[in-house]
Amino acid sequence: MEVVFAKWLARSVISKRIRKKKVVVRCITLFISLCISLVIAANLFYRRLKVGRDFFRMKTYVAPQSLLDSELGIHNYIYLKNQGIKLHYVEKGDRCKPLILLVHGFYESWFSWRHQLGEFSADYWVVAVSLRGYDDSDKPSGTSEYTLMKMVEDLREFVLALGKDKCTFIGHDGGAVVGWVLVSKYPDLFERFITCNGSHPFAYKTHLKKSFKQMKKSWYVFFNQMPYLPELCFAANDYELLCRFYYEDNENSETFTDEVIQAYKYYFSQKGALTVAVNFYRNIDFMSSLQIPKMRIPTLIIWGTENKFLDKELAKLSARECEDVQVKYIDGAGHFVQQQEPVYFNKLIWEYISITQ
């Protein structure tokens, strides 16, 4: 009886310590978020005075021709019975061939894979899925509908609904984060995992605590904890701040042409679309105890050396979570590697597929 009581007491003490630590971390996070938000809000309203009344006017767009180009693929939908939502996807290639699943990042869309859909479709059935809330996928209401695990389960059911026993997962940014958890938890569904500029959740959390440089790069993560202000800020002055993410200080102006930017503006001008993108960040638990198994599937990590949002060190830290891994850097490339350097990016994919068949 005394042993049982001692164990209960120990668990109780540990639980209280964890709760206190979570409160402290939450307070620090909110303090950082508030400081960043005050600076951004001051700048925002100063610029409103300079630009005029149209600064905060929400603009809407019609779908540009580039999104309707049949050469990119066929638009389709799958209803996920267990998850209760419909996901949009674009497919190209023969359905009888092996499946490559492409998963976009946050503040992006299926369109970010426009250089890969055709590239691999001769040998594969290539599917670029739109995450819940994005593009023409369903947008369930409520912040809690956009947790990491809900997206993981969406994609698990989506792969099963496509009717393939195995597939190759290629993810970028937030899509790769979802992939790290999905492929680790359900390895039997996948042949290989390829991530581009998307770090393992443990690697990111660990590095964020130790690196002031990464904390500065992650300003938007803290800013997105605030209610309402992020959506207002991203949409202001014709989605100016949103476009700055793509341009990465104008280094990607040749990649993100006016036509490409119009496609992104179309999707994010839809009702609730910006809130969906922000809600993932609002669900981040900086004290998460999520258990992620070691990655057993052959893994390729592709990283742009000039990434403005994620340190180069995160690639090596993520590799430590894998049993069979290769890390490839693309010198001079930024965060959006599959769009900025599509020829070299596709070459790396082909080479890796050939040695892991």
Asked if 335 is an active-site residue, the reply is: yes
* pLDDT average, residue stretch 150-170: 96
Query: Quick one: tokens of 283?
Result: 């669900």
* pLDDT average, residue stretch 207-232: 92
Element (H, E) at 266: helix 258-268
- Per-residue pLDDT of 309-325, as tens digits, reads 999 999 999 999 999 99
Is the pTM higher than 0.85? yes
Which domains are assigned to the chain?
A: 65-207+283-355 (3.40.50.1820)
Which of 173, 200, 267, 352 is the catalytic position?
173
Q: Please, which pLDDT band fits residue 8 given cuts at 50, 70 and 90?
A: very low
Burial class (CB in 10 A: 0-12, 13-18, 19+), 211: middle
Which of 220, 281, 311, 352 is the catalytic position?
281
- Per-residue pLDDT of 292-348, as tens digits, reads 999 999 999 999 999 999 999 999 999 999 999 999 999 999 999 999 999 999 999
Which of 88, 172, 207, 335 is the catalytic position?
335
pLDDT confidence of residue 254: 79
Q: Calculate the alpha carbon distances from 105 to 9, 30, 79, 130, 197 in Å.
A: 44, 25, 21, 10, 9
CA 130/CA 175 separation, integer angstroms: 10
